[in-house]
Structure 1
Amino acid sequence: MRSIIITGSLWLTLLVALASCSSSEQTNSTTTQDQISPCTPVTVQSIERGGISNSLTLFGTTLYLRRNAVTAPVAAFIAKVYISLGQRVKAGQPLYQLETKERRALGNLSVGGDSALLGRIIVKASSGGLISTFDKQQTGDYVLEGTQLCTIAEDNALAVQVNVPYEYQALAKPGRRCRVRLPDGRALTAIFQTPLTTVNALAQTQSVLARMTSSVPLPENLTVQVDVTSQANAQAQLLPKAAILSDEMLQHFWVMRLINDSIAVKVPVQLGEKTTTTVEVKSPIFGTGDRIITEGNYGLPDTARVQINAKQL
């Protein structure tokens, strides 16, 4: 009977010892797992605040939106031509002298009175501008009433037809200013007007007219560069481009924010203006002490163990 009791005590002792060993092994295993859990080395940066501008360089050609056709008021001979193609004229400047058949029939006879009434007519410019077409330039030609003599492109109707990629239409809204750079180095200011209704099928660009703010004599069909700049608010949240992560379709964006010195979590963000190095974060609003991973963030899960660069500690 005593032998059985002793054997039972031994079994009890063995069971307790085994349970203790199992618990110790589990504890050691957990400790080992915590020790070997990978920590990604990262570099962090705080949110900066300041202004940001996005500049876009486009191309366009000059053109005149208004042209005044100069026509013969009566049927007559062209007696004199005072202008030439490409010449700049002022309003009221003489362009042609016409002579009616009756006046020419008089020859060198002395005629008193008003020469206009007697068949000699001076055709003057109705507006200032550039002689863009020169239809009648030969003296002695006979023209009928209403015949076009020349065309004046008005100085104050000069515009630039800018080819704007459709995705950047917001930068070329009517009323927005732009800078026109000429091939000779000069820079002029222009204001965008109403866009045209057609889009280039191949380039997917839409033509938008930009009117000059000052009257500048320029030839038509001159190729110019047009700089468009959008200005964000002066207190925008700014991060380097390396801090922004996205999906393959570039539809969703996020950053990895540290919640302590060793844990980083995924935070979805909405972006604003962009430059070659900096991105504006519109939302959410981060605190001044928030730290965002700028290096080592690629491929991290939604919650990740990280190790901050020793130089930043």
Structure 2
Amino acid sequence: MRTTIITGSGWIILVLGLSACGSSEKTDSAPVQIIARTPVMVQTVGRGGISNSLTLFGSTLYLRRNAVTAPVAAFITKVYVSLGARVKTGQPLYELETKERRALGTLTIAGDSAIIGRVTVRASSGGLITTFDKQQTGDYVLEGTQLCTIAEDNALAVQVNVPYEYQALARPGRSCRVRLPDGRTLTAMFTTPLTTVNALAQTQSVLARITQPVPLPENLTVQVDVTSQANAHAQLLPKTAILTDEMLREFWVMRLVNDSTAVKVPVQLGERTPSTVEVRSPIFGTGDRIIIEGNYGLPDTARVQVNPRKP
């Protein structure tokens, strides 16, 4: 570039001369291909036991009741029990006197030391007097008239309302804990699922028999704790590692085959807790790395970038 300045008659003329480069230098380079990688966090498969607990609700009821009836037409002369009383097998409940006995008064049949026409009604089983139909002495009852009802202690059960998706935890033969409102805890065992499901709550009633005789009122609301224990060497993964389809029919995880590639591996699940899931199959190696964050939406084979675990 050249610059010339000319002065005269008060004028200043500035002339700029520009010289262009004789040749332009061109650089050609090949485009760089950038492979996108999804940042993920990984974890190895753990080993240990897992338990799944569920709290349900139910109400107490007695499965067997024995109706105590009058064996003969007679007058009630004595009543030995009251409503809510607990009785034992063979315990006297009522004493009856037939019309014939009342007509004889204090007379007895010669040669017979027994008092004719006087009958003692005894409890056929131990339990709780739940209905008390006849309690007044002097009442006349016909043969077969119901006097009272005994609910058997060993027939106490809890009708548990189980959500249908948790029926496996309430299979017959499985044990559970019954928590009473007063803080006591009883052991029970599931026996029989009933054939109907609540249309609104979608719960099925399952009977649980209490193993030890305990005096409890009927229709008492209780809590039932159900626990399922898996094997002590179960494969455990965080719940975030498990992916599934919209219908919750298929489950899979993303496993790293090297430091930059992850593949889809279908899995069969077992017990579950709010944070941990048991993987029953396949059996992973101790060094297999499973993606626990960043796995959502990854294709069958995905390019990933492993980030270090957060402290």
**What are the Cα deviations for residues 81-129 of structure 1, in whole angstroms up to 9, with x where unaligned?**
111111101111111111222333345x475886853222221111110
Q: Which residue of 1 aligns with 2:3?
A: none
- The whole-number CA distance in structure 1 between the counterparts of 2:166 and 2:265 is 28
- The whole-number CA distance in structure 2 between the counterparts of 1:150 and 1:206 is 33
Q: What SS class does the counterpart of residue 267 from structure 2 fall into?
A: strand
Q: Which residue of 1 aligns with 2:103?
A: 105
- Structure 2 vs 1, CA of residues 275 and 310 (structure 1 numbering), >3 Å: closer, same or farther? closer
Q: What SS class does the counterpart of residue 37 from structure 1 fall into?
A: coil
**What are the Cα deviations for residues 159-195 of structure 1, in whole angstroms up to 9, with x where unaligned?**
1112222222222222111111111111111111132
- The whole-number CA distance in structure 1 between the counterparts of 2:209 and 2:298 is 51
Q: What residue identity is the alignment partner of 1:237?
A: Q
Q: What SS class does the counterpart of residue 101 from structure 2 fall into?
A: helix
Aligned length: 284
- The whole-number CA distance in structure 1 between the counterparts of 2:113 and 2:224 is 52
Q: 1:47 aligns with which of 38, 45, 48?
A: 45
Q: What residue identity is the alignment partner of 1:227?
A: D
Return 294-303 or 112-121, whichever deviates more. 112-121
- Structure 2 vs 1, CA of residues 124 and 118 (structure 1 numbering), >3 Å: closer, same or farther? same
Structure 1, gaps ≥5 residues long: 1-20
Q: What residue identity is the alignment partner of 2:165?
A: E
Q: What residue identity is the alignment partner of 2:231?
A: N
Q: What residue identity is the alignment partner of 2:200?
A: L
Q: 1:271 aligns with which of 269, 272, 276?
A: 269
- The whole-number CA distance in structure 1 between the counterparts of 2:113 and 2:63 is 36
Give percent identity, aligned residues only.
81
Q: 1:136 aligns with which of 131, 134, 137?
A: 134
Return 227-236 or 109-118, whichever deviates more. 109-118
Return 159-168 or 77-86, whichever deviates more. 159-168
Q: What residue identity is the alignment partner of 1:159?
A: A
Structure 2, gaps ≥5 residues long: 1-25
Verify the 8 A CA contact 2:41 2:308 in the aligned structure 1.
no
Instruction: Name whichever structure is richer in helix by fraction.
Output: 1
- Structure 2 vs 1, CA of residues 61 and 308 (structure 1 numbering), >3 Å: closer, same or farther? same
- Structure 2 vs 1, CA of residues 54 and 115 (structure 1 numbering), >3 Å: closer, same or farther? farther
- The whole-number CA distance in structure 2 between the counterparts of 1:166 and 1:116 is 62
- Structure 2 vs 1, CA of residues 116 and 182 (structure 1 numbering), >3 Å: closer, same or farther? farther
Q: 2:224 aligns with which of 219, 223, 226?
A: 226
Q: What SS class does the counterpart of residue 289 from structure 1 fall into?
A: coil
Q: What SS class does the counterpart of residue 167 from structure 1 fall into?
A: helix
Q: 2:235 aligns with which of 212, 234, 237?
A: 237
- Structure 2 vs 1, CA of residues 147 and 166 (structure 1 numbering), >3 Å: closer, same or farther? same
- Structure 2 vs 1, CA of residues 116 and 173 (structure 1 numbering), >3 Å: closer, same or farther? farther
Return 217-226 or 295-304, whichever deviates more. 295-304
Q: Which residue of 2 aligns with 1:297?
A: 295
Q: 1:86 aligns with which of 84, 87, 109?
A: 84
Equivalent residues in 2 for 1:135-284 (5 A)? 135-284=133-282
Q: What residue identity is the alignment partner of 1:245?
A: L
- Structure 2 vs 1, CA of residues 132 and 116 (structure 1 numbering), >3 Å: closer, same or farther? farther
- Structure 2 vs 1, CA of residues 156 and 310 (structure 1 numbering), >3 Å: closer, same or farther? closer
- The whole-number CA distance in structure 2 between the counterparts of 1:247 and 1:123 is 67
Q: What SS class does the counterpart of residue 167 from structure 2 fall into?
A: helix
Q: What residue identity is the alignment partner of 1:229?
A: T
Verify the 8 A CA contact 2:41 2:309 in the aligned structure 1.
no
- Superposed CA RMSD in Å reads 2.2
Instruction: Name whichever structure is richer in strand by fraction.
Output: 2
Q: What residue identity is the alignment partner of 1:59?
A: F
Look at both structures and tell me which one has the larger radius of gyration over its CA atoms.
2
The Cα of 1:49 is off from its aligned counterpart by 0.9
Q: What SS class does the counterpart of residue 246 from structure 2 fall into?
A: coil
**What are the Cα deviations for residues 3-28 of structure 1, in whole angstroms up to 9, with x where unaligned?**
xxxxxxxxxxxxxxxxxx99x74xx3
TM-score scaled by structure 1? Answer: 0.84
Equivalent residues in 2 for 1:60-71 (5 A)? 60-71=58-69
**What are the Cα deviations for residues 259-294 of structure 1, in whole angstroms up to 9, with x where unaligned?**
122222222222111110001112221110011111
Verify the 8 A CA contact 2:173 2:191 in the aligned structure 1.
yes
Q: What SS class does the counterpart of residue 102 from structure 1 fall into?
A: helix
- The whole-number CA distance in structure 1 between the counterparts of 2:191 and 2:264 is 43
